[in-house]
């Protein structure tokens, strides 16, 4: 490991630590003022951006030395939602299909590797968008509307986001979170939806459902969430008003149905991709990924599969002496293996770019350097 400063090497005592590959959060929306240091504090060395303004409206954070606890960012492009004025600030403005290739070119220029189709993107354009994206070396994720997953799979979409959204289409007149929860809560135990073919990549984001239930029960007080994020989410349709007791009950009844279904899908050969959807309501950087991992274990997914699906390197690790590492306490390992709910403790330290980042009490990392061995 390189020595980043002329200061003497620091010695970090980590008795009974478990050394493991660092983690990758596969579903993040980086935003202005995001606490990137909190990601490093929880051992997250890489994030996949699935919709942000980084590289366009906002500068891309670039680490300079050991003073910068920043993860590697797999850059994404904007959302592609319905035509016309965007509903969300992260979505691209487009009015006709002829404009879409140019917007994909812009994403490539930014350095994007993924683009994301949002719930209102027209299904009749799925195939066109996938072909144009793949021609440019971009992969395509989809946040499906009810009934949209089947069309997306036929079109060759690379990955589906959010298990909660994988419900059959109704009459098309009712949309939204409460409709999804109602469908899941009243799902017949013998029903086979969603029925995804083996090899389909799915990012479940169970933590979003958990956080919606927790914060709806507090009338969107968002305890522990930074004020600017809490204010932002209170303006969104899902959280703009208190949920009724019936709506909260539907969400609670939906959660175990989702867990049972996810275990069936994993057993059938669906490939799980682990991501948190930070900063979805109440999901915090770094901590949210560990909460997602624990929820997957609680749903019955094998802890080893969850871990190897989340770490930066696949099971063939170690492949390189430069790979990022994390140092875990034994109680944290035991909690994860048991699928215990949060709060999840930060890691003891994260090794990244030859720097050792040690979380302090506030969840912000400080760095120390070590000489090459």
Bridge partners for 327 per DSSP: 19, 349
- Residue at token pair 């070590």: 370
Counting as low any pLDDT under 50, the low residues of the chain are 1-6, 8-10, 361-373
**Treating both helix axes as pointing N-terminal to C-terminal, what angle do 287-298 and 245-267 enclose, rounded to 10 degrees?**
70
pLDDT in tens, 65-99: 888 899 999 999 888 999 999 888 888 999 999 99
Q: For position 321, what pLDDT does the model report?
A: 63
CA 291 to chain centre: 11
For residue 49 the two structure tokens come to 């951006």
Q: For position 344, what pLDDT does the model report?
A: 80
Q: How many CB atoms lie within 10 A of CB 162?
A: 22
Q: For position 173, what pLDDT does the model report?
A: 55
Q: For position 12, what pLDDT does the model report?
A: 56
204: left (phi over 0), alpha (psi -120 to 50) or beta: alpha
CA distances from 174 to 101, 115, 179, 200, 251 (A): 31, 27, 7, 27, 17
| Dihedral (CA of 239, 144, 344, 285) sign | negative
CA 327 to chain centre: 22
Please provide the DSSP assignment of 204-265 as one string. Answer: --HHHHHHHHHHHHTTS--TTS-HHHHHHHHTSGGGSSPPPHHHHHHHHHHHHHHHHHHHHH
Three-state DSSP class for residue 325: strand
pLDDT in tens, 290-340: 999 999 999 999 999 999 999 997 655 555 667 899 999 888 888 888 877
Q: For position 203, what pLDDT does the model report?
A: 98
């Amino acid at each position: 490991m390189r020595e980043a400063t002329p200061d003497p090497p620091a010695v970090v005592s980590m008795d009974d630590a478990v050394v493991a590959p660092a983690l990758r959060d596969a579903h993040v929306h980086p935003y202005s003022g995001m606490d990137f240091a909190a990601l490093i504090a929880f051992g997250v060395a890489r994030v996949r951006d699935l919709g942000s303004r980084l590289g366009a409206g906002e500068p891309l954070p670039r680490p300079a030395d050991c003073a910068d606890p920043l993860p590697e960012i797999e850059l994404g492009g904007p959302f592609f939602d319905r035509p016309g004025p965007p509903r969300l600030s992260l979505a691209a403005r487009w009015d006709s299909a002829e404009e879409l290739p140019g917007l994909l070119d812009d994403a490539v220029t930014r350095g994007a590797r993924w683009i994301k189709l949002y719930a209102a993107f027209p299904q009749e354009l799925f195939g066109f968008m996938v072909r144009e994206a793949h021609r440019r070396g971009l992969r395509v994720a989809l946040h499906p509307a009810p009934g949209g997953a089947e069309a997306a799979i036929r079109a060759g979409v690379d990955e589906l986001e959010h298990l909660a959204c994988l419900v059959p289409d109704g009459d098309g007149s009712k949309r939204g979170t409460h409709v999804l929860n109602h469908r899941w809560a009243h799902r017949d135990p013998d029903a086979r939806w969603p029925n995804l073919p083996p090899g389909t990549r799915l990012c479940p984001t169970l933590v979003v459902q958990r956080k919606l239930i927790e914060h709806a029960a507090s009338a969107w007080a968002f305890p522990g969430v930074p004020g600017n994020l809490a204010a932002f989410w209170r303006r969104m349709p899902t959280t703009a008003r208190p949920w009724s007791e019936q709506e909260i009950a539907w969400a609670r009844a939906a959660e175990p149905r989702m867990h049972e279904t996810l275990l069936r899908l994993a057993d059938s050969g669906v490939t799980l991709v682990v991501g948190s959807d930070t900063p979805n309501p109440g999901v915090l950087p770094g901590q949210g990924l560990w909460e997602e991992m624990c929820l997957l274990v609680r749903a019955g997914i094998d802890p080893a599969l969850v871990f190897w699906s989340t770490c930066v390197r696949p099971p063939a690790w170690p492949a390189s002496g430069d790979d990022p590492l994390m140092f875990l306490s034994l109680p944290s390992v035991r909690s994860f293996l048991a699928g215990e709910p949060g709060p999840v403790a930060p890691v003891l330290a994260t090794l990244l770019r030859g720097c050792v980042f040690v979380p302090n009490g506030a969840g912000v990392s400080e760095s120390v350097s070590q000489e090459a061995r």
